């Protein structure tokens, strides 16, 4: 593994920091310098020892992982409580927004009703005027037809005398 160096175990001192040339095996070697295999073996043994101590039982019969499990469970419970609280807040916000929207809808509907009431009275008056005018037009058309018939009869009589 180029560019990596194993850390010394606790209590060991680093006597020599290898260069890139030495790491690649091209440079001089030192007799007290551990080989890569030695470092790998000691690191592997160290990890095995850590795992064994983590999984060992305490004098009370509990695993050392139990406190971690309990802490993780408490964290999960805390997160779930916060999520429930957030869900409650969102539900309250939704209800509040729905109430506000309903109130706004009612105000708009009332405003439109008021506008319709005011304008419908004016429209009703205008429509009555239009219908009265149409009635006068119908009467005038009938009178015009009568006058037209009378003129036609008069014309025919004048033609017959001539």
pLDDT band at 162 (very low <50, low <70, confident <90, very high): low
Contact 13, 30 (CB under 8 A): no
Domain boundaries, the chain: 7-56, 57-161
Tell me what pLDDT residue 22 has: 54
User: Is residue 137 over pLDDT 90?
Assistant: yes
Mean predicted lDDT score pLDDT of the chain: 77
Considering the entire predicted model, what is its pTM?
Answer: 0.38
> pLDDT band for position 59 (50/70/90)?
low
Nearest CA to 104 out of 114, 93, 92, 112 is that of 112
**pLDDT interval class at 161 (50, 70, 90):** confident
pLDDT tens per residue across span 75-129 = 999 999 999 999 999 999 999 999 999 999 999 999 999 999 989 988 999 999 9
What is the model's pLDDT at position 53?
A: 46
Residue 6 has pLDDT above 70, yes or no: no
For range 54-83, the mean pLDDT: 81
Q: What pLDDT is stored for residue 76 in this prediction?
A: 96
| Radius of gyration (C-alpha) of the chain in whole angstroms | 52
Is the alpha carbon torsion for 56, 62, 68, 72 positive or negative?
positive
């Amino acid at each position: 593994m180029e560019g990596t160096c194993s850390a010394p175990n606790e209590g060991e001192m680093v006597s020599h920091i290898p260069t890139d040339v030495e790491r690649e095996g091209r440079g001089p070697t030192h007799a007290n310098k551990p080989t890569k295999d030695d470092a790998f073996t000691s690191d592997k043994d160290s990890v095995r020892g850590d795992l064994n101590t983590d999984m060992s039982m305490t004098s009370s019969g509990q695993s050392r992982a139990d406190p971690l499990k309990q802490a993780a469970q408490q964290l999960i419970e805390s997160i779930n409580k916060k999520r429930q609280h957030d869900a409650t807040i969102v539900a309250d916000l939704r209800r509040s927004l729905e109430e506000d929207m309903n109130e706004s809808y009612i105000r708009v509907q009332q405003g439109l009703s008021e506008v319709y009431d005011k304008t419908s009275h004016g429209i009703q008056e205008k429509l009555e005027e239009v219908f009265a005018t149409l009635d006068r037009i119908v009467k005038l058309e009938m009178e015009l037809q009568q006058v037209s018939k009378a003129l036609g009869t008069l014309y025919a009589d004048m033609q017959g005398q001539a």
